[in-house]
Amino acid sequence: MFIFGKFGKSICVLNVGGTRYAFTREVIRDFPLRRVSRLHACATEKEVLELCDDYDRDLNEFFFDRHAQAFMFIMLYVRSGKLRFVPGVCELSFYTEMLYWGLESAHLDSCCQKRLDDRMSDIGLDSLSEGEMGLSGEESQSPGEQVPRTALTGRAKWLERMRQTFEEPNSSIVAQLLASVSVIFVLVSMIMLCASTLPDWDTAKRNTPSSCLGLIVIVEAVCIGWFTAECIVRFLVARDKWDFLRRPLNIIDMIAITPYYVTMAMARAGMPGAGLGVAGVILRVLRMMRVFWLMKLARHFLGLQTLGMTLRRCYREMVMLMVFVFVAMAIYSALAQLLEHGLDLGTQNHDYASIPAAAWWVIISMTTVGYGDVYPVTIGGRVLGGMCVVSGIVLLALPITFIYHSFVQCYHELKIRSARYARNLSTEVLR
């Protein structure tokens, strides 16, 4: 090897923007950054200068005229496996540094990937190649030379691959197959749950041969078994176990799975759920929580992901909307109760006997639903009703603009992310 063999140097120094880093022969050979690891295989000084800007033979020092602070953050990624943007540095400039050293946008943490997607959408690009970032062909790397997603090795890499397979349905072919199987089990489970609420279900179960009934039990057990195994595996490969337990979708999974095992345990103990009184009611309520398994489809469909992301980002606007509605409801319900019932003018409307009863009329009027089950009969009440409807339209329309723009932005971001995974998947297929 040129940098070690010819001069017998066991230490190699990287000088990046004036900041010096010293590494041993073994570290350079297995370095996670492709540009650095290629130095170990250089046989001539010409090959070395194709990878760096200058080289000092006496000190065995390699000079890179690159952003020193950006490389410092990249070195933090090498050590910890987490890559984030440098504060105060343009996202595209840092992305240039990433491409130079052999990294890609997929190595960024999810929050920084969003910032990069926003920046690229601002300039009208879905992705940036090495050529578009001003890097030469020698500086770029081929698809087959991609560095690992993290600088970790062995078991950590395997765990990361498993996590992507179960958490990112578009990350690989295997992930897509698992996602398809999960969707099928969700649909089967929902069909069985809906069928179990039909009036003739119990009669059909009594008249069904034991073999068919056993098949229904087996199908339900297989669905629950799949969801249980999926939840356990995702928990085991999660980076942060506590964060995993706090996620709403994971909480719904656990709540939906638990009643089945509780019911089975009670059945084995000779305590059927139907005769448990309050406990039986609680079990039936928890069993109906299985309907929230439909939220699992959000991992596989862009529309549901967009809706969820929009609600998370617009929670302030949603709270503001609720405040508008509750304030207007309190005012109009009090006035409606007074005009229709409280003044005692000989035409008391008993549908407005209390403010809570009038609040029902206010909410269906403000949302322009108008069931017709409750309506004012006095002149003052009808005038108030017209004002309630008009003000409801205005109040509900005020935050809609913010929510709409956030929805469009979220949809665009998810489309960019989906396109990135599709390109990675295409590369995997071609390999």
- Give the domain CATH number at 70: 3.30.710.10
Does 276 lie in the same domain as 188?
Answer: yes
* Contact between residue 219 and residue 192 where contact means Cβ atoms under 8 Å apart: yes
Distances 150 to 36, 75, 79, 420, 426 between C-alpha atoms, Å: 16, 12, 9, 18, 21
pLDDT at 373 over 80: yes
Q: What is the pLDDT of residue 389?
A: 92
Edge-first strand listing for the sheet containing 11-16 = 19-24, 11-16, 61-64, 54-56
Q: What is the pLDDT of residue 162?
A: 82
Q: How confident is the model at residue 174 (pLDDT cuts 50, 70, 90)?
A: confident
Does 322 lie in the same domain as 217?
Answer: no
In a domain, 137, yes or no: no
Distances 392 to 109, 321, 368 between C-alpha atoms, Å: 42, 11, 8
In a domain, 325, yes or no: yes
**What's the mean pLDDT in 249-277?**
72
Count of CB atoms situated within 10 Å of the CB of 390: 12
List the domain range (segments joined by +) for residue 424.
307-430
Task: Of 120-124, 322-326, 331-335, 348-352, give the lowest mean pLDDT range.
Answer: 120-124
Q: What is the pLDDT of residue 280?
A: 66
Cβ-proximal residues to 428 (8 Å cutoff; 6+ apart), any chain: 172, 173
Q: What is the pLDDT of residue 191?
A: 84
Does 187 lie in the same domain as 280?
Answer: yes
Q: What is the pLDDT of residue 141?
A: 42
Q: What is the pLDDT of residue 239?
A: 77
Q: What is the pLDDT of residue 49?
A: 86
Q: What is the pLDDT of residue 426?
A: 55
**What's the mean pLDDT in 291-303?**
74
Does 311 lie in the same domain as 295?
Answer: no
Tell me the per-residue pLDDT of 180-193, one tens digit each, with 9 for 90 and over: 888 888 888 888 87
pLDDT at 155 over 90: no
Does 70 lie in the same domain as 116?
Answer: yes
Q: What is the pLDDT of residue 145?
A: 39
**What's the mean pLDDT in 310-314?**
84
Domain count, the chain: 3
**What's the mean pLDDT in 340-366?**
84
Does 192 lie in the same domain as 101?
Answer: no
Q: What is the pLDDT of residue 37?
A: 83
In a domain, 372, yes or no: yes
- Pick 148 or 328 by higher pLDDT: 328
The last residue of a domain, from among 237, 269, 299: 299
In a domain, 143, yes or no: no
Between CA 336 and CA 332 the distance in angstroms is: 6
Count of CB atoms situated within 10 Å of the CB of 373: 9
For the chain, how long is the longest CA-to-CA vector? 110
CATH label of the domain that carries residue 391? 1.10.287.70
Q: Which two tokens stand for residue 94?
A: 């840092």
Average pLDDT along the chain = 77
What is the percent of the chain with per-residue pLDDT over 70, rounded to a whole number? Answer: 79
Does 314 lie in the same domain as 292?
Answer: no
End-to-end CA distance of the chain: 30
Angle at CA of residue 71, ends 66 and 76, nearest 5°: 175
Does 214 lie in the same domain as 291?
Answer: yes
Q: Determine the residue type at 25.
A: R
Q: What is the pLDDT of residue 7?
A: 43
Does 164 lie in the same domain as 48?
Answer: no
| Closest to 110 (Cα-Cα) out of 403, 413, 312, 427 | 413
What is the percent of the chain with per-residue pLDDT over 90, rounded to a whole number? Answer: 6
**What's the mean pLDDT in 244-264?**
80
DSSP E strands in 57-155: the ranges are: 61-64
Cβ-proximal residues to 287 (8 Å cutoff; 6+ apart), any chain: 193, 259, 260, 263
The last residue of a domain, from among 299, 321, 336: 299
The last residue of a domain, from among 125, 141, 170: 125
Q: How confident is the model at residue 390 (pLDDT cuts 50, 70, 90)?
A: very high
Q: Which two tokens stand for residue 62?
A: 């390699």
pLDDT at 307 over 60: yes
Q: How confident is the model at residue 147 (pLDDT cuts 50, 70, 90)?
A: very low
pLDDT at 331 over 80: yes
In a domain, 6, yes or no: no
